[in-house]
Amino acid sequence: MTIVNYDTKEINCKIVYYGPPLSGKTRNLKTIFERTPSTNRGELICLQHDDERTCYFDFLPLFLGQLRGFTTRLHLYTVPGNAVFDSNRRMILKGVDGIVFVADSRRERLDENLESMDNLRKNLAAHGYDLERIPMVVQYNMRDFPTAMSVDDLAVVLNPSNRPQFTANAQTGDGATETLKAVSRLVLKDLIREK
């Protein structure tokens, strides 16, 4: 749910990176943070849990510029990949404006991708959201692994709605910026359509 502050003339949008454990959600945010000039970004905050190898809450306000005289900011979050943190996932989705589903391209991780997509659908429904109506892009990460499935095969099962999709490499950061730009455009287009 986009928050418009008329006093400060700011539009705040929330984008959540969702996917299975170790698929590259946190690495995406760290790459974006590292590549964004410090004048255009806020602080990156990671809260680490003892039982979870990845950060289970990342926050990065990213300043996009002006839209009809308002400053637009994106607040980027990741969810914990581990299913034991499902209540945290659900809480982080509250008020979401856009989603990046980060899939692990490796064939041996296909079931985890499918479980995570199903979990996303259920957690959105718990807030009254419909996955088909939320601006979303799909990122196929871990493309450099020898067991990486083809994008076409992954799209059949993970992207049947034919949403924008991107390939990525968590180690090099390739694809992170393009993915963020695409979901940002979808969120802003949705915002303009609603106003």
pLDDT of res. 109: 97
Q: Indicate whether 104 pLDDT > 50.
A: yes
Give the chain's domain count: 1
Q: How far is CA 141 from CA 5, 50, 180, in A?
A: 35, 25, 14
pLDDT band at 96; cut points 50, 70, 90: very high
Q: Indicate whether 53 pLDDT > 70.
A: no
Q: Label the pairing between strands 136-141 and 98-104.
A: parallel
Q: Indicate whether 78 pLDDT > 70.
A: yes
Contact present, 45 and 27 (Cβ < 8 Å): no
Q: Indicate whether 176 pLDDT > 90.
A: yes
Domain that holds residue 123: 3-194
User: Which of 3-7, 113-117, 122-126, 147-151 is the least confident region?
Assistant: 3-7
> How many Å apart are CA 41 and CA 109, to the nearest integer?
33
> Could you give the angle at the alpha carbon of 30 between the alpha carbons of 26 and 33, nearest 5°?
140
CATH code where residue 23 lies: 3.40.50.300
pLDDT band at 167; cut points 50, 70, 90: very high
Q: Indicate whether 160 pLDDT > 70.
A: yes
Which two structure tokens, joined as six digits, stand for 6? Answer: 């008329």
What pTM value is reported for the model? Answer: 0.90
pLDDT of res. 63: 66
pLDDT of res. 58: 52
Q: How far apart are the first and last CA of the chain?
A: 13
Contacts of residue 65, Cβ cutoff 8 Å, sequence gap at least 6: 71, 72
